Amino acid sequence: MKKIGYFSHANRKRGLRLLKYFTILSFFFSESAAAKSFFNPAFLKNSDEQNKVSDLSYFDAGLLQMPGIYRVDLWLNGKSFETVDIEFKAEKQRDNDELKLVPCFSLEKVLSLGLKESYIKQPTALTEEQKRCNILSFIPDASAQYDIELQRLDVSIPQAALVHKNSSFVSPEAFNQGVSAFLLNYKFLGSHTAYDQSSAQQESYNLNLRPGINLGPWRLRHYSNWSKTAGRDGHNESWDNIYTYLQRDIIPLRSFLLIGQGSSTGDIFDSVGFSGAQLASEEMMAPENATGYAPVVRGIAKSNAKVIIMQNGYQIYESYVSPGAFEITDLYQTGSNGDLKVIVKESDGSEQQFIVPYASLPVLRREGSLKYSLTSGLYRTYDKHIDKTPFSQLSASYGLPFNSTLYGGTQLASKYQAIATGIGKNMGWIGAVSADVTQAWSKQQGDKKTDGRSYRIRYSKNVTQTGTNFAIAGYRYSTSGFYTMSDVLNSYRDDKQRHESYRVRNRTEMNLSQNIGDRLGNLSLGGMIEDYWDNHRRNKTISASYSNSWQGISYSMGYSYVKTIQNSGRAKSSENDQLFSLMVSVPFDRWMKSNSSVHGFYNMNTARPGETNHMAGLTGSTLEHNNLNWSVQQGYGTQSKASGNVDLDYQGTYGELMTSYGYNKHSRRVSYGISGGAVIHENGLTLSQPLGESIALVETPAAKGTSVMNHAGVRADFRGYTVVPYVTPYRLNDIVLNSETLPDNVELESNTVTVVPTRGAVVRSVFNGKVGIKGFIRLIDKSGKALPFGTTVTLVEEQPASSNFIGEDGRVYLTGLKDNGSLLAKWGNEHDKQCKAAYDFSNIPAPSTGIRQIQARCL
């Protein structure tokens, strides 16, 4: 069925309001207002030709819009669901025999809304027409109300008839596996450091690559990291293959299958790397959208420093930071839950190291829900000398009544066996807690077999009334004979080196955030204490921060304390490192007339042992979409004297560029970098900003150069393609084009496309539109009279043809027009109730609005 009308979504709403006003007005010109109202054709006819009256039988019957396919905002049970094309039919009502526009819903469509198929009332077998269009009438207590003026369709379905009760859940029928494509994510960082006290220099390079291939539901992914340093500190080069795997969804099981290199889940046992296969629950598919936990790495740098983050022996992150407090929130998920080792390399060659726990929240499931993971393969680690021992791991958790969860699992290998069991409980206002015990039997290389136990308690609580949030608090105690799987399997080596096993005896960790009030700011505390068996090694990390704002001026203070005690034979060493920082930021936007953002700031940090540094400067963003970020700062230290930094970061359509220059008493450093993505699809190569896990490939050939809302620097390239670098899997994602950046000669059907990608998918978002002249054409007949209101006008050359209505004074709004062409106007089905008109815009200059106006005679 052809679409009735080719206006944009907003233009159709305005046009329908106008039509509604005409319909109400015509009531007063009807032959009998007291009787059944109808649209009086006499109100619209020409005075001299009685036969030129539009066929308005639908309006005469009480309709305000003709049947057809319309783009509407679909709302489900009072909540916005999606914007979609819906077919509407005119049906007579059973009670009053009046015509009414009703939506045409197929069985497939109502299932995509989350309906349980068993809830459909089927006294007899449904016909194909009923399945295609009338399925809503077979759902008890279901209804649909259409607001023509707002172009909004409200659908009401009993909550009990829906599969889910979570508004963020989307029916599996709507999942989009995307298109076949090759993907590449890359990030390169380089730096050159010259030391003032000597002629020594240092070169440093780091390259991160994440290529992948999508074929239907299959995802092939690889992740590798190359780093090289050469100069004063010697020569070091490494290439780490972090993982390679093939993965796909198994939607009926709400699970995924992974074949290759990965990491086992870490909610019950410690996560370990493997080369093999894994079948596990995909949480994002399920109605119970469990919230995961990912750490934010916070620290304080004494100078211009390089931050390196290690996990399970692999380097997963590298970046440069300025003096003062830093916060890293863009860690790429590796699928592992091992603790993060953070190394801060200062410009004077000194280092500070600390551990950020990467633990999980209490194990809790909703009643009746199951989460499981089955892993089997060879043990994999960064050390090539360690034996690749076969092992298997099974873990599961199940939601019980009374807000309880039962969970457990087992790990099996020739040299190690373990079994774990535990229970979680949501205790309401008290918080959520889980406790478990693990019994393990171990045999390290060259040692006798031992056994031991590990006890663990985890707790979390969010007190909304007081703004208190225990992100995670945990305690773990292990007996002397307890070893983890990694402890045991790491001892089996093909060289003569003895594996040093540092077995944790006690470990306590906590993260607390507190909102003190609207005017008093926020306070956060974090810490970890752990000690080990068989030596006096002890680690202690404590951090605290406070932040607030006043009149747009933000300020924060931070404190960090790291203490490490090591015992090597009879020698015992202790290291203490304390850092304090103060930051104040003042926005200058309120005094600037441009769209650019500029802030002034002051940082102070003091280290013990160490020095005190002061840093002041300006930072901001500029260009059309604020996609160029810059920073200029000057500092002074009690020992290192003057220092300074200049940073630039540009987010463009084809990637991200960054560079910086910094100097202090000891050295001068220039760093540079580039990151981005590339997608090769059936229509060619599209370059982009760094890619997330799931992405949207935007195709808008009619609107080249148009930008995407809420994504700085993302705009269609010279072919009309671009990439939205991150969308949420298994959820509704609105891709919105910025209508202000559309070319004047382009009219889109809609500037919004909604996509529901699966994990790792490349979903295509196609924006259809017309390229050509936009204009109002006033159509008159051979006697010079305007054609009647409601006449449909069609472009003769357009295929498939779309129709627009003539409005007031014979005017019709059309888009995608050539300089000249022909129109077909019809106000009835008879041959004498139609005519053709030729139009010509070639001599009409385009006004500032971009909409031209002419008159054409219809013969």
Query: Over 50: is that where the pLDDT of 25 sits?
Result: no
Query: Over 90: is that where the pLDDT of 188 sits?
Result: yes
Q: Nearest Cα to 173, choosing from 84, 105, 110?
A: 110
Which tens digits make up the pLDDT trace of 581-623? Answer: 898 988 887 666 666 778 898 989 888 877 888 889 998 888 8
- Rounded CA-CA distance 694/712 in Å is 18
For residue 266, give the amino acid letter.
G
Task: Decide which of 596 and 665 is more confident.
Answer: 665
Phi then psi dihedrals of residue 533, to 5 deg: -75, 155
Q: Nearest Cα to 267, choosing from 43, 461, 424, 60?
A: 424
- Rounded CA-CA distance 374/595 in Å is 53
- Rounded CA-CA distance 421/714 in Å is 49
Each residue of 805-817: b (16+ CB within 10 Å) or e? Answer: bbbeebbbbbbbb
Lowest mean pLDDT among 131-145, 307-321, 677-691: 307-321
- The token pair at 141 is 């207590």
Task: Decide which of 392 and 158 is more confident.
Answer: 392
The rounded percent of the chain whose pLDDT value lies above 90 is 26
Task: Decide which of 805 and 649 is more confident.
Answer: 649
Query: Over 90: is that where the pLDDT of 393 sits?
Result: yes
- Find where tokens 């007081």 sit: 466
Lowest mean pLDDT among 134-143, 325-334, 785-794: 325-334
Cβ neighbours of 257 (radius 10 Å): 16
Query: Over 60: is that where the pLDDT of 223 sits?
Result: yes
* Beta strands, E only, 196-254: 201-215, 218-231, 236-250
Render 460-529 in DSSP notation, one character per residue: EEEETTTTEEEEEEEEEEE-TT---HHHHHTT-BSSSPPP----EEEEEEEEEEEEEETTTEEEEEEEEE
Q: What pLDDT shows up at residue 570?
A: 54
- Helices marked H in 538-692: none
Mean pLDDT over 77-89 rounds to 79
Query: Over 90: is that where the pLDDT of 688 sits?
Result: yes
Helix, strand or coil, per DSSP, at residue 758: coil
Query: Over 70: is that where the pLDDT of 466 sits?
Result: no
Contact 758, 247 (CB under 8 A): no
- Rounded CA-CA distance 163/75 in Å is 17
- Rounded CA-CA distance 105/84 in Å is 12
Radius of gyration of the chain (CA): 34
Contact 397, 423 (CB under 8 A): no
Contact 356, 321 (CB under 8 A): no
Mean pLDDT over 531-539 rounds to 80
Mean pLDDT over 752-770 rounds to 90
pTM of the predicted model, to two decimals? 0.71
Q: What pLDDT shows up at residue 325?
A: 65
Residue 155 bridge partners (DSSP): 76, 144
For residue 520, give the amino acid letter.
L
Q: What pLDDT shows up at residue 317?
A: 73
Band of pLDDT at residue 799, cut at 50, 70 and 90 = low
- Find where tokens 């006096």 sit: 536
- Rounded CA-CA distance 533/478 in Å is 9
β pairing state of 305-311 and 297-301: unpaired
For residue 357, give the amino acid letter.
P
Q: Going by C-beta distance under 8 Å and a sequence separation of 6 or more, which residues neighbour residue 248?
A: 217, 218, 219, 256, 257
Contact 363, 381 (CB under 8 A): no
Contact 277, 256 (CB under 8 A): no
Write out the H or E segment, with its range, that includes residue 182: strand 181-195
Query: Over 70: is that where the pLDDT of 55 sits?
Result: no
Q: What pLDDT shows up at residue 634?
A: 92
Query: Over 70: is that where the pLDDT of 155 sits?
Result: yes
Band of pLDDT at residue 207, cut at 50, 70 and 90 = very high
Q: What pLDDT shows up at residue 72?
A: 83
Q: Going by C-beta distance under 8 Å and a sequence separation of 6 or more, which residues neighbour residue 309?
A: 297, 315, 316, 317, 318, 328, 331, 340, 341, 342, 343
Q: What pLDDT shows up at residue 832?
A: 76
- What's the chain's average pLDDT? 80
Band of pLDDT at residue 256, cut at 50, 70 and 90 = very high
Query: Over 80: is that where the pLDDT of 12 sits?
Result: no
CA torsion 404→406→407→408, rounded to 10°?
150
Please, how many CA atoms are within 13 Å of residue 281, restricted to the half-sphere of its CB? 21
- The token pair at 174 is 């709507």
- The token pair at 315 is 């380097």
- Rounded CA-CA distance 277/245 in Å is 9
Residue 727 bridge partners (DSSP): none
Mean pLDDT over 564-569 rounds to 66
Band of pLDDT at residue 349, cut at 50, 70 and 90 = low
Query: Over 80: is that where the pLDDT of 168 sits?
Result: no
Look up residue 222 and give its DSSP letter.
E
Q: Is the peptide bond before 609 cis (omega within 30 degrees of 0)?
A: yes
